[in-house]
Amino acid sequence: MSAVIDTHDHSHDEHHGPAKGFTRWLLTTNHKDIGSMYLIFSFAMFLLGGSMAMVIRAELFQPGLQIVEPAFFNQMTTMHGLIMVFGAVMPAFVGLANWMIPMMVGAPDMALPRMNNWSFWLLPAAFLILVSTLFMEGGGPNFGWTFYAPLSTTYGPPSTTFFIFAIHIMGISSIMGAINVIATIMNLRAPGMTLMKMPLFVWTWLITAFLLIAVMPVLAGVVTMMLMDINFGTSFFDAAGGGDPVLFQHVFWFFGHPEVYIMILPAFGAVSEIIPAFSRKPLFGYASMVYAVAAIALLSFVVWAHHMFTVGLPIAGQLFFMYCTMLIAVPTGVKVFNWVATMFRGALSFEAPMLFAVAFIILFTIGGFSGLMLAIAPADFQYHDTYFVVAHFHYVLVPGAIFGIFASAYFWLPKWTGTMYDETLAKTHFWMSFIGMNLAFFPMHFLGLAGMPRRIPDYALQFADFNMISSVGAFMFGATQLLFLYIVVKCIRGGGEKAPAKPWDGAEGLEWTLPSPAPYHTFATPPEVK
């Protein structure tokens, strides 16, 4: 028995005859169509956000101002962050959820198909508004992706109100997507599929959906307070009117820290499906993996002020947030141990999904260690707002979220298209991405420790060599993603071998995912025979 059960009768998806062309996509309620649209949209945003990163790295290739104005540089850093977080990573995981969750739990479709359609189509509208701010008077948001007040409220460009509107629409989309995931998992599981028999990808998404519902209204609250400060004369964040700029940071990071786990938990789930399949053995410690994800999610709510060690927190506050942050390393360590234990003495093979999954484990762990360094309050006074922080979160998000998405795409492409992708090209894509990513972000640790601040268009001469290496790596990583586009398009158009029923050969009962925990007959004589 595979954990993927597709019981959906697709012959009646359109009740009024088959819709043609664009209308089919505009009106579809089919979870596979919507999943595909999310994935296509997220890749388009990935290329757009990536091209903005290319502008940043081109400017920093050498000291001195050469390519863009400092004001435009600030707009690029801001938009790159916002587009990658809200436009590339989150919609990609929602796309994977749409495709895989109904099949993994044996549901005919998502529980709320029309809301599913609406939650997708809000996104292109939101990002059209966000990107249009770049063409408005005064330019787009230029205050960093964290849009700290009063920089964004008192000193922001006139387009800030449009930016706030775009954030609201994205948040509504995310909340509806999360409600849909929860409703599907709780109500549409096939008979016999108890919660503790669900594939881990489903578990991680269930927990992620609760995180989304908990924190998206907080983001809505903080941007609404900004809106009032800008347009209605309130002073939530303006000290001159009795407000407090640090209040903004508290509210923002109460959303922002769980948000980073929203971007990584589904990748944990995907990797927990991929590692067992290419190790040809069941996942080690299924239950502990579920509890670890839940523990990470709960702890993510009590660590927000570790982003704020330099604002003048009382010493008791610094200690609390320091210890809570270090505590997150425990469940994360459990997960890493279980992945390694799954591979231990397994019949390993290293196709593209496995390569991305193994790189995910190694590089994400490096990002975790630099996170532990940043968690130590007195040390953070030195690292805060330097390139060391940039290195840290890119080591979590690029090998974490992005590599997790690549691994999932290669793993499930044969399922989605009926065609095998080009393995040689996929491995080329992996190694180019792996090398480019490390060249781009590893030198940033050294730059940060040497004192180079974040978010600057120019820098002192002693930082030149590492910045040059960083830029070369970034361009290598960016260019390689066009190869990924080629591989996927070629696969979708059937330009490869027909996918066998079990594409990952030898993975008995592991066609697409693992029934987790594995049924008893995988191991021994059935109990009634004894």
Which residues are marked as active site? 80, 109, 145, 173-174, 257, 259, 261, 272, 306-307, 332, 335, 454
Q: Look at residues 445, 392, 465, 474 and name the one whose alpha carbon lies nearest to residue 56.
A: 474
Burial (CB < 10 A; 0-12, 13-18, 19+), residue 341, is middle
Per DSSP, the residues of 365-409 read HHHHHHHHHHHSHHHHHHHTTBHHHHHHHHHHIIIIIIHHHHHHH
Is residue 205 left, alpha or beta, with left meaning phi > 0 and alpha meaning psi from -120 to 50? alpha
Any idea which residue has 């991305």 for tokens?
A: 356
State how far the Cα of 215 lies from the Cα of 492, in Å rounded to an integer: 36
Burial (CB < 10 A; 0-12, 13-18, 19+), residue 409, is buried
What is the rounded (10 degree) CA torsion for 353, 272, 406, 300? -160
Tell me: cis bond preceding 517? Omega within 30 of 0 counts: yes
CB 87 within 8 A of CB 42: yes
Per DSSP, the residues of 447-502 read HHHTTPBSS-S---GGGHHHHHHHHHHHHHHHHHHHHHHHHHHHHHTT-SPBPPSS
Structure tokens at 274: 């991929």
- 3-state DSSP assignment of residue 111: coil
Q: Look at residues 340, 343, 331 and name the one whose alpha carbon lies nearest to residue 300.
A: 331
Which ranges constitute the DSSP H helices of 60-112? Answer: 70-82, 90-105
- For residue 386, report the phi and psi dihedrals to the nearest 5 degrees: -105, 175
Beta carbons within 8 Å of 3's beta carbon, 6+ residues apart: 104, 198, 199, 512, 513, 514, 515, 516
Any idea which residue has 């387009």 for tokens?
A: 159
Tell me: cis bond preceding 102? Omega within 30 of 0 counts: no
CB 468 within 8 A of CB 435: no
